[in-house]
Chains A and B, each alone.
Chain A
């Protein structure tokens, strides 16, 4: 396995966190199910790229790539499902949300109207990061040969993805490929920042709204309940016909 897949420095530093995540079966299966969605979404985006690129060679490669990613999604989903079946804790899994970091999604990449060099650079950086991270994950699931085997299999594909995107990038942009890769890295960092910022904003917003819920709503609860009690059951005749303003949102 090429040495570049030993994991990014940040991921190596985060190793204890990764160990904590993968050490617990509940967290592990949740992570696998998240990966399943991320890989599938990524696969669909790359499929889209295959449908819109004017370059026949890239179309073929993107298609192969997309098929791989969709298969990865399937592998993760099946393994996650097998663990769920073994654990019987699925309700918690489904409704507990997904606070854990994901795999290597394409960050809501818009495919249409993007030049191929931008997508290739982006994919290359994303695949490289994924390959590095999956190398670490593979080692952390030593106790679980089946999950480990999935990572091994996927890792081979990720290395192929990382390579072809790079060679193709040098082909379609022989002059600017280094710049595009750096740009993609910066973009990835920026996206990560945006994600964190949005999550923080969401969190603060949630806290503020919850506070509002308990402070501002109670006086109106009584009215709402009274109105509910007065509401007739069964058919209600519609009085809105005709006298409703066509421009009203109410």
Chain B
């Protein structure tokens, strides 16, 4: 059976294709359209997935949309009614927004793909999150937890699932917490309050938290209160996200926490104001973790299962994931590489396959590489045309050469095979650098990523060596597979891993098994032979505000305009020239006064 999953219209849309129970392609629209967090109907992603598998739209057995769009509209309308008359400003926009495209999903799918209506299916938003986590995890039976901002009505669900050896699969979500009571919205509200972009910069709050002390837990606890049954409610008077789209916190919130941060001010962590913001971040982070740990503990008691599958945008919070692993009683925690809404495209397709159609469950390959491949030839050609030194090397000499460059402090753009599905670069579209020096880290921040200094960079380490450098609890390897957990760097190594150790001594480490990315693994080993430390700084291959690069020429254009010294795609290695002759373009090739005069005449 050929099943296409689609996630669209709110944040980071995506498509995924499942054939006979196994994913064959999945990609976020932004990676192809090159517009970050592109939420439009993912037509390029769909076309690419079908093309990749050689499938015509008419061959599809089902197209599955990741949520019930009318139910979501129902929530938007209901919230407008409840907030009457305060919602009058946001109402027209909310309706225009929804009626523009979002509620006509079935029609959009038929018109774009020409598939008949009977082949179009819908899943619950959180069922998609849950399926993405459960059916991609190497476990037979697991408890399920999903948490995000909001789907249709649910913001958090718990349940359980089973993948039996005979191929039967079962997934039941038992309970939910409903909008507006939402951990994701609580965290996003603080994201906005701290002057960052909602739905995008949540990880900045997590990075900032390490600089603060959780001195405002009591205040945060007045916003979110536990209920006797072990769930939580938000106190609505502190929030406005449920009534308006322009502001997520109320003036009562400001009374409680002080004036919000001006997004155009830098955060000065030495000033009382800067420390207050860091303390705010630390406090909401701590409360989020506490609430999740409590819910996970309750779930563990009820199910007595050793494994937990955790999905939804909140599962991107690596600190919370590590605490769930350490404190909830679950022995293993599985977070998929794309736990957010983009991953729902794959989740919806897997859900339909296993649950709606009852197809036999199959193991999903345990890696994130479902996107377009890099074409090394394309890179070689463009670089030669621009007279950049290009070499094409076999694997062994290539690893040695690149390891030499890394050890000499050079920054490497690394492209390899199919690109990652999900927000993290896990070794196929990465910027790599030596992990020991703050100077290199600062150079990456300044010349490439242009981001705040309080945001840490992550290390990647071969699984065999991980425990030597990082203090990983049992189950830590698994959480580190897709960079889903934050763990302490062993104190004796912090000095020599200064570029990847956060201010609190932690790191969001990727624990790399050889078979997941053999070439990066070989590079780590080669680097280890030189320096004694087989660890590299690994950050996503993009500059601020842009999606991660997908194709070779996108890597190349990024390499050309930022501080990356060396670009590798498959066997092709491109060095940056010393001086850029392109400056002369301005004086020479294109600059002619004749052009000016003529253009005035046309």
Binding site for B on A (CB under 8 A): 2-4, 40, 44, 47-48, 50-52, 56-57, 59-61, 63-64, 66-67, 70, 80-81, 84-85, 88, 90, 94-95, 124, 128, 159-160, 162-164, 166-168, 170, 177-178, 181-182, 202, 205-206, 209-210, 213-214, 217-218, 220-221, 223-225, 227-228, 231, 233-238, 240-241, 244, 246-250
CB distance from A34 to the nearest CB of B (A): 14
List the A residue with the shortest CB-CB distance to B560.
A63
Q: Provide the residues of chain B in CB contact with A231, threshold 8 Å.
A: 178
Top-8 shortest CB links A-B:
A164-B590, A234-B227, A224-B81, A209-B92, A234-B231, A81-B264, A56-B385, A249-B70
Who on chain A is nearest to B228 by CB?
Answer: A234
Contact status of A160 and B229, CB under 8 A, knowing A67-B561, A249-B106: no
Are A217 and B84 in contact (CB-based, < 8 A)? yes
A75 to B227, CA, bound (A): 50
Contact of B105 among A4, A167, A249 (CB under 8 A): A249
Say which residue of A85, A206, A213 sits within 8 Å of B96 (CB atoms).
A206
- Check B172–A241 contact: CB distance below 8 A: yes
Known: A44-B34, A167-B590. A94 touches B263 (CB 8 A): yes
Given contacts A162-B596, A167-B595, A238-B174, contact A244 B124 (CB under 8 A): yes
**Shortest Cβ distance from A205 into chain B, in angstroms?**
6
Contact A205 B82 (CB under 8 A): no
Inter-chain contacts of A225 with B (CB < 8 A): 81-82
Chain B residues whose CB sits within 8 angstroms of the CB of A220 once the complex forms: 81
Query: B263, A90: Cβ atoms under 8 Å?
Result: yes
| A-B interface pairs (CB < 8 A), number | 192
A217 near B263 with CB under 8 A, answer no
Q: Whose C-beta in chain A lies nearest to the C-beta of B69?
A: A249
Beta-carbon nearest neighbor of A55 in chain B: B385
Instruction: Return B508 CB to nearest CB of chain A, in Å.
Output: 28
Q: Is the CB of A160 within 8 A of B590?
A: yes
Expressed in whole angstroms, the minimum distance between the Cβ of A147 and any Cβ of chain B is 16
Closest A residue to B261 by CB, please name it: A90
Question: B residues within 8 A CB of A4?
Answer: 596, 599-600
CB proximity of B225 to chain A, nearest CB, Å: 9
Bound-state CA distance A243–B232 (Å) is 27
Residues in chain A near residue B262, CB distance under 8 A: 84-85, 88, 90
Rounded to whole angstroms, the CA-CA distance of A182 and B154 in the bound complex is 54
B232 partner residues in chain A, CB cutoff 8 A = 234
Please measure, in the bound complex, the distance between the C-alpha atom of A59 and the C-alpha atom of B560, giving whole angstroms. 11
Q: Give the Cβ gap from B385 to chain A, nearest Cβ, in Å.
A: 4
Residue of B nearest to A157 (CB): B586
CA distance A48 to B546 in the complex (A): 11
**Given A56-B385, A61-B585, A240-B124: A205 in contact with B96 (beta carbons within 8 A):** yes
Extra contacts, 10 of them, besides A50-B557, A66-B561 (Cβ < 8 A), are A2-B593, A166-B598, A205-B92, A214-B85, A217-B80, A217-B81, A228-B82, A233-B231, A235-B176, A250-B68
Tell me whether B582 and A250 are in contact (CB under 8 A): no
With contacts A95-B247, A234-B231, A249-B106 taken as known, whether A163 is within 8 angstroms of B264 at the C-beta atoms is no
Give the residues in chain A near B10, CB-CB below 8 Å: none
Residues of chain B from 531 to 558 with CB closer than 8 A to chain A in the complex: 545-546, 551, 553-554, 556-557
Q: Which residue of B lies closest to A249 (CB)?
A: B70
Do residues B176 and A160 form an inter-chain contact, with CB atoms below 8 A? Answer: no
**B91 and A209 within 8 A (CB):** yes
Contact B229 A210 (CB under 8 A): no
Within 8 A of A (CB), among B579-602: 582, 585-586, 589-600, 602
- Is B175 in contact with A237, judged by CB distance below 8 angstroms? yes
Contact of A163 among B105, B106, B228, B596 (CB under 8 A): B596
Within 249-275 of B, Cβ neighbours of A (below 8 Å) are at 262-265
Residues of B within 8 A of A48 (CB): 34
Contact of B602 among A2, A47, A95, A181 (CB under 8 A): A181
Partner of A128, one of B69, B120, B178, B599: B599
A63 and B553 alpha carbons, distance in the complex (Å): 12
Judged by DSSP, the binding face of A is helix
Give CA–CA (A40, B266) in the complex, Å. Answer: 21
A235 touches B557 (CB 8 A): no
A236 touches B177 (CB 8 A): yes
CB of B214 to closest CB in A, whole Å: 25
* B78 CB within 8 Å of chain A: yes
Check B81 against A3 for contact (C-beta < 8 Å).
no
Chain A nearest Cβ from B299, distance in angstroms? 11
Give chain B residues whose Cβ lies under 8 Å from the Cβ of A233: 181, 227, 231, 233
Q: Which of A182, A235, A236 gathers most chain B CB within 10 Å?
A: A235
B176 touches A236 (CB 8 A): yes
In the complex, which residues 82-130 of chain B have their Cβ closer than 8 Å to any Cβ of chain A?
82, 84-85, 87-88, 91-93, 95-96, 103, 105-106, 118, 120-124
Cβ–Cβ contact B590 & A61, under 8 A: yes
Asked if A246 and B172 sit within 8 Å, CB to CB, the answer is no
Which residues from A are CB-within-8-Å of B159? 238
Whether B181 contacts A124 by the Cβ 8 Å rule is no
Minimal Cβ-Cβ distance residue in A for B154: A238
Within the complex, the shortest CB–CB distance from A221 to chain B, in Å, comes to 4
Do A64 and B596 touch across chains, with their CB atoms under 8 A apart? no
In the assembled complex, the CB of A188 is this many whole angstroms from the nearest CB of chain B, namely 14
Least CB distance from B91 to A in Å reads 5
With A60-B585, A249-B105 as contacts: A163 and B78 at CB distance below 8 Å: no
Chain B residue with Cβ nearest A213: B91
CB distance from A12 to the nearest CB of B (A): 16
* B181: A residues at CB distance < 8 A: 233
- CB neighbors of A among B334-390 (8 A): 352, 356, 382, 385-386
Set A57, A159, A202, A249: member contacting B71, Cβ < 8 A = A249
Q: How many angstroms between the C-alpha atoms of A181 and B232 in the bound complex?
A: 62
Is B216 among interface residues, defined by CB-CB distance under 8 A?
A: no
- Complex CA gap A95/B231 in Å reads 34
Expressed in whole angstroms, the Cα–Cα distance for A221 and B34 within the complex equals: 43
Contact A246/B122 with A81-B264, A238-B176 known, Cβ cut-off 8 Å: yes
CB pair B596 A159 closer than 8 Å: yes
- A250-B74 CB under 8 A given contacts A218-B84, A221-B84, A236-B176: yes
CB of B465 within 8 Å of the partner chain? no
Contacts of A244 in B (CB 8 A): 124
Q: How far, in whole Å, are A240 and B125 apart by their CA atoms in the complex?
A: 12
* A–B complex contacts, Cβ < 8 Å, 13 sampled: A2-B600, A44-B546, A64-B585, A90-B262, A159-B596, A163-B592, A164-B589, A205-B92, A233-B227, A234-B229, A235-B230, A238-B154, A249-B106
Q: In the complex, A61→B586 CA distance in Å?
A: 9
Q: Which B residues lie within 8 Å of A218 (CB)?
A: 84
Cα A177 to Cα B260 with chains together (Å): 53
* Interface residue B58 (Cβ < 8 Å from any Cβ of A): no
Which residues on B sit within 8 Å (CB–CB) of A3? 600
Given contacts A235-B175, A250-B70, contact A224 B78 (CB under 8 A): yes
